[in-house]
Structure 1
Amino acid sequence: MMPFLLLLAPFLLAVIAAAASGVIFPAAGPWYQSLNAPSFQPPNWLFGPVWTVLYLMIAVCGARLAVQAGQGAGLAGFALGLWALQITLNALWTPTFFGAHALGAALVIIGALWLSIAALMATALQIDRLAGWLLAPYLGWVSFAAVLNWAFWRLN
């Protein structure tokens, strides 16, 4: 039987990443407002709902992979390592971009985040197809966010 905390861990880590993103480093601060923004920047109100849904999907993916790891699925342990890597990079991006105002460093982090999500998705699809497909919107949004990060870096 899978220990409850192992199933709960992905949800707790997603909440921690979300808190680092939205509460500790709010996006709409004066520094961010002073930046030259690309024309395709979405409205600020969109980020909260999108990330709420994405964090839930990321957590469900992690919990499904934890179940597979508990049942001894071969690649599941590796997939959980990739899951931990992507949630760590996810949590690092916000303080780098909004806290340190380091647009270039944030671009490097989001590039590594994109690679980790792609690797996780490819691995998860081999273990639990639903877990893998739950990451597709996340990969799409991070792709857009990377282009947005690049545009901010280029314009500022």
Structure 2
Amino acid sequence: MLTKETLDSFYYLRRKEIRNSIKHVYNTQVGCPVNIGDLMFLTIMNVVMGMIWGGTKDGIGFGVEFRNVINEVTRLMAAPNLSDFYPGLAWLDLQGIEKSMVAMKKIDGIFDRIIDERRKMDCGGDGGGWRRVMVGGG
């Protein structure tokens, strides 16, 4: 699926996203501190979204929101859960993990928005990047 040829075919997408990130920093962040982690996360996310869905999500705010949700989900998944060791206590939710799983619903909401936007963009035309990748046409 992701052969060298397929990855090479996305060279211009990667190049465009890197240039967009540099332009964003140059136009809006001159003289201000730049959170390189957020910037790189957004850039990589845009490249992957471009490869899979044939489009990207503009705005650093979206990337920061998505990164925060991913961090919360990772924290929840890494936390030991007493209910795993004592299933009879699960209904008590002693650690509040079930209540904290709201982050998972946020991820679903983010993906639902992206999918809805992609469906509106598609309008029955070419299926976009991910279909070409899955078929191997890059």
TM-score range, shorter chain: 0.3 to 0.5
Structure ranking higher in helix proportion: 1
Pick the structure with greater CA Rg: 2
TM-score (norm 2): 0.37
